[in-house]
Structure formats: structure tokens, C-alpha cells
A = this chain, B = another copy of it.
Amino acid sequence: MKRESRLVRWIWWTVVVTALFLLGFCIGWFAKPSKVTTNNHKTSSKYLAEFLDEMQPDLIRDHLRKFTRLPHLAGTEQNLKYAEEIMKEWQDFGLDSVEMVPYDILLSYPNKSQPNFISIVDHNGKEVFNTSLAEPVPHGYEDVSNIVPPYSAYSPKGHPEGDLVYVNYGRTEDFFQLEREMNISVTGKIVIVRYGKIFRGNKVKNAMSAGAKGVIMFSDPADYWAAGIKPYPDGWNLPGGGAQRGNVLNLNGAGDPLTPGYPAKEYTYRLNPEEGVGLPKIPVHPIGFYDAIHLLKNMGGQIPPNNWKGALNVSYKTGPGFTEDFKSHKVRMNIYSNNQVTRIYNVIGKIRGALEPDRYVILGGHRDAWVFGGIDPMSGAAVVHETVRSAGKLLKKGWRPRRTVIFASWDAEEFGLLGSTEWAEDNARLLQERAVAYINADSGIEGMYTLRVDCTPSLHTLVYDLTKHISSPEEGEEGLSLYESWHKRDNWTNDRDAPRISKLGSGSDFEAYFIRLGITAGRARYTKNKKTERYSSYPVYHSVYETFEIVEKFYDPTFRRLRAVAQVRGGLIFLLADSQVLPLDANEYADSLRKYADSIAHLAQTHTELMKTYKVSFESLFSAVENFTNAARGFHERLQTLNIEDPLQVRIMNDQLMYLERAFIDPLGLPGRPFYRHVIFAPSSHNKYAGESFPGIYDALFDIENSADPEKAWREVKRQISIAAFT
């Protein structure tokens, strides 16, 4: 018994000891943290909600008010002052670092003592009419100095005099029609075109190619008036004395015209001014339609076709005020503007990533404005400002994104995307190796209807997911998500039941990041109803009437639309910077590629016979798209089985997602456009604003019709198909 008892006791002891040991072991095992700090998804999504909620309409209003009081053209003292204020506030908001990054670039200003204008001169050489020297200043801004009058930046000096020829929008097809159908040559003449449809730099290029010796551009109410809306300040239409400023370069992505490919630092070698990239060789000047009416009466008998007449139908030879006298009148341009190398300033703020500081997510938009920049760009800059403030709040609560976030306030966007392009050139290698995505933040609003997103296909899914978590800013839509509000207003045309997302074109600061460097990119803003509002951009675009008040009175009185834009832009940045696995979708890219391939092949169908003759086939392109599609599907399947506890595996998969866009970069660039290197997307050769898919093939096809050597032209088509298929 005793023995037994001892045995029992001994067994009991052993059991206890073992149990205790095991208990300790288990607790020890599980208490030890894994080396890998996995993202706590709940925490991250809690922070996302806080981040979006923190953004306040009233503060966006305050930011906009603050930075639109004075004109702040690139290269001026006031724009530096705003840069300094932004730098200081971003520091106060709590960013890890904020710095000012200067470049010395070629800018263009009117001569203060000799204003630009255009005259009508009679047969004695007497000026019988001069265009106005400035726009009437809006109420409340009468005492403001330094309002630059409307001008075409980078126009050379000059005084060309000659007959005036009207060429509609100045598009390639307009010049064709003029020369071929109407049999009018513009050689040695001065051309007048209306704004709209295409980028103004393309109009000037077309006029130069056609042999014109000067270009006048005006805003026709047909293109710049919304129906039933009064001119500013009683409405948001462009007054007759208002005119559109803007650069008339053809840079094709080169950045500063004197330092193509390299950052414009102090020590950087500069081309001679006359060698500068994309500078127009003939004088250019913009006018309002009050002035335009006078000039248009003076076209020496040219009778434009009906569809060219626009709203200024009053004129054109037969209109009131037209006399036969005008036939002998000529037009003289008086342009005194100067190009000069000037210092500009980008503001760059950073939040250092907690786990992957060497991965960059960028939110960038410009600060420089033609005058006050009420819409362009400060409605966007105010949104960025509020995003930075909200991110700072989160930082103070202990949040830190997985990856580094970079905020940029670019300078000199209006002069050809110069600040952003110089910085991209300065940091090209790092960006190429490390940039995950670039989100652009130009004007936050250009209409009062719904959201507009242009982005690369791999962002589609993220945009949809995000906008489902943002509320509609529209009155009467309480409870609706932004996604729903957007969806009901702007669905894809045919094939898809989701809000429409467009291709990226150009004309804003994402260009160097997306089209030169191949960084995933997108932009978002509030827009008009494209179906009913046919004008380009918005009526007061680039005029003195882009004030704080036009936004507050008309575009976004509650500032809830701009808050929604802030939430989209900020939310994209947040999710790209903080998600453990990058929220990019290669399958969407594959779908889009197929659509683009179908569409370019369809375009070529107009030449079926010739394609047979020259043995041109799109087969290799379709087979490449097929391969890409399979690879994308396989990749996302592997992603499902990813061990997210293994930081190296996660990084490896993320690297593939990050480099997805880079895969489309051809280091040799597009023909004649070395800085446009994206084989899938480029600004159209005929309109910088528009995005073209498979631009190399498209341009080669376009040239077929005008080619003296069809064999050579078709060889170029084949070459471009082959390049696209390979890439």
C-alpha cells in the first residue's frame, strides 16, 4: 500500500512536473512574438476611417481662401511666399521632413513696360483697332497688383503683319480642310483659331507646319459658355473680356526646355535659348471674344463652313459692321514677351515608412497659378493641404504607414509641367527603383456633377473599393456612397456595369512619372456632365475670374465635393502606402490591354487591303495580350496562397506589383518623342490632353494616309506592332 501510494505519488508528481513544464513551454512558445510584424488589418482600416473622417470641408475652404488672395505665378515672389507658408504648415501638421527644392528653368513673361496686343491696320498702315491689354478685374480685387495679362507663354517676340485666316480649332483636320477643300493656304498669313478640342500647343505646332507667321487664339462662347449661365460674377461663364492664358510649348515630356533629360540645377549645362525644346518659332497671343469679333470681321472674304462658325456667327464677312473696306485691312501682332531662366521651388514633404522606407507613394499637385488659381490649381492644393493635415493627426495618434509617403507642391506646372518633371529627372533612378504609385492633385473641381477618375488599369479595383467607403457629397444623397452617386451618373458606355474610368492623357504633373518612368498613376477630381456640358475644361479656365468666390458661390458652396475629392486622393495614398500587399490589379490591366488591342486592330480595318499587300498583322499583339492575361491570372492565384507571415515573400510579390507598370516602358521611347516611353499610353501626338492607347501603332497608322511612301509607312506600323507585342 505504502509502496503503491509512493508510486501514485511519484506518478502524480511526474504528471504535475510535466504538466507545469508543458504549460510553461506553451505559454513561452506563444508569448514570443514572431519576428515579423504583420500589419494589423483592423488597426489599419480603423486608421483609414479616422483619416478620411478627419478631413473637413470648412478647413478646405480656409486653405483655399488663404492661398488665393494674391496672384502667384511661377517664378514670382508671391509664389515663393506661398511655398514657404506651405512648408511651415506641413511641418506644423507633423510631417517627418519638409524641404524646398529649387530649380532654375526657362520661364516666359510679358514685358511690363511694353504690353502685348493685336492691331487691325488699314491700307495706310494705320491702327484702326487694338485688342485690350488686360481683362477687367473682378470685384474685390481692384487693388491687387501683379495680375499678369493674358498671354501665350514662350511666344517669341515679333510683329508679324498679314492677312488673317480662320482655321476653326486649329486641329490637323482643320488645316487639311482649309487647304484641301477650301483651297486656302496659310503660308505667310496670320492664323486665328478658337480654343478647345485640343491642347493649344498642338494648334501652334499645326499652324507652324502650315507656314503661318503668327497665331491668335480666342475663346468662343460656343466652346466656353454653359447654357443658361451668366458670365462671372453673376454666374460661372467667361466674360467677353476674359481670355485664356497658357503655354504654347511642344515639349513632349522634356521638362525645362533648356535641360531636356536632366534636372535644371545650378551646375547643369543649358542649351542655347534658340535650341530650346518645343519653343514656338512664331508669335502667339490669346484674346477674349469681344476682341475676337473685331478681328474675325477682317478675314478678307474667307467664308468658313457652317460647322466652323461657333457662336461668333455675327461676323465672318457678312456680319454687322462688315464693310468691303476690311478686305484691304491686315492684322499686326505686337508681342514683346521675354523668356528668362528663373528660379522655381517645389515643396517636398515626407512621412517615413515604418517597415519599407524605401518604397514611395507620392501625392503631388502644383501650386503656381496664372492669376489667383481659385480652381486651377488651388482647389486641388487645398485638398492636398487638408490631406497632409489629416495624415499629421494620425501620426500623432501613433500611426505610421508601412511605406514612405511623399507630398509635393510643384511649381511651374503652367509652363509645361516643369517643377514636377525636373524633380522626376533629379530623382529618376530612385523613383524607378522605389516608387509604388503617383497620385496627381491638380484642380479638385471642374464641374458640379460627379466624380471623374483617370488612372492606369491596375488601380481600377482600388478606386472602386475605396469610393464605396466614401459618402456622396451631393445634397439629397445622404446614405449613398460616392461610388453609387458616381455610378448612376456616369456608367461605362457598353460593356461594363461600373462607373466609367478613363485613360490618363497629359497636361498635368503625372506625366513624367507615368509616361516617362512607368510609375502606376492616377488622378481624381469633381467634374461636369460631359453629355450636356460640351465646353472644354470649364468656362473661366486660366482667366482672372478663377477666384475663391467662384468656387464658394458656384462650384462647391459646402466644400463637400472637394472633401470627397480629398478623401479619394488621400484614401488612395493611404491604401497604397499602408496595405501589406499592394492593392494593384494585374487582371484589370489585362482586360484593358485586350480592349485597346481590339480597338487599334479595328482602326486598322479601314486599310484591310493594304494590310494584306504589306503583310501587316496584329496576331503577335493579340498573342502577347493573351500571354499577359494568363500571367496576370497566374500571379493573382499565387497571391492567394501567399504566406503573409513571411516578409520576404510579401516583398517579392509586392515588387512584382510595383514593377508591373514599369514593364511597359521602352527605354528607346516613342518615335521622335524620347521622353514618352510608355508603350501602352501616351499623350496623343495631335492633342496633348488626350491619352492614346498603343500610341506608337496609332501614330504609325495615322501617318499612313499622309505618307508619300506607303511601303515605308507600313513598315513603321509593323515595327510598332512588333515593339508593342514584345513589350
Contact = CB atoms under 8 A, between A and B. Distances in A.
A18 to B, nearest CB: 9
A699 interface: no
A35 B34 contact: yes
A619 B36 CA distance: 47
A718 interface: yes
A655 B357 CA distance: 12
A166 interface: no
Contacts of A723: 262, 269
Contacts of A29: 28-29, 31-32
A604 to B, nearest CB: 16
A355 B648 contact: yes
A26 B29 CA distance: 9
Contact of A25 (B24, B269, B715, B722): B24
A651 interface: yes
Contacts of A36: 35-36
A54 interface: no
Given A29-B28, A428-B667, A269 B20 contact: no
A357 B715 CA distance: 40
Interface string A683-722: 0000000000000000000000000000000010011011
Contacts of A659: 429, 433
A22 interface: yes
A265 interface: yes
Given A24-B28, A668-B261, A722 B35 contact: no
Nearest to A674: B668
Interface in A621-667: 645-648, 651-652, 655-656, 659, 662-663, 665-667
A636 B267 CA distance: 29
A53 B355 CA distance: 41
A314 interface: no
A263 interface: yes
A726 interface: yes
Contacts of A32: 28-29, 32
Given A648-B647, A723-B262, A655 B358 contact: yes
Contacts of A21: 20-21, 23-24, 27
Nearest to A516: B667
Among A16, A26, A648, A674, which residue has the most Cβ atoms of chain B within 10 A?
A648
A645 B268 CA distance: 43
A17 interface: yes
How many identical subunits does the complex contain?
A: 2
Contacts of A313: none
A620 interface: yes
Contacts of A357: 652
B356 A718 contact: no
Nearest to A267: B620
Nearest to A623: B267
A35 B646 contact: yes
Contacts of A35: 34-36, 645-647
A725 interface: yes
Most buried by B among A24, A29, A428, A726: A24
A262 B620 CA distance: 15
Contacts of A265: 726
B269 A722 contact: yes
Contact of A725 (B20, B267, B358, B429): B267
Contact of A28 (B25, B34, B355, B662): B25
A652 B356 contact: yes
Interface string A27-67: 11101101110000000000000000000000000000000
A433 B432 CA distance: 9
A715 B269 CA distance: 8
A726 B262 contact: yes
Contacts of A26: 24, 28
A656 B429 CA distance: 11
A27 B22 CA distance: 10
Nearest to A624: B267
Contacts of A668: 261, 674
Contacts of A267: 619-620, 722, 725-726
Given A29-B29, A646-B35, A722 B262 contact: yes
A31 B32 CA distance: 10
A325 to B, nearest CB: 52
B23 A726 contact: no
10 contacts: A20-B20, A25-B31, A28-B28, A28-B29, A35-B647, A261-B666, A429-B662, A647-B647, A648-B648, A651-B651
Given A20-B21, A268-B722, A355-B648, 14 more contacts: A21-B24, A25-B28, A28-B28, A28-B29, A262-B722, A268-B726, A269-B718, A269-B722, A269-B723, A358-B655, A358-B656, A429-B662, A433-B662, A651-B651
3 shortest A-B CB distances, which residue pairs?
A24-B24, A28-B28, A25-B28
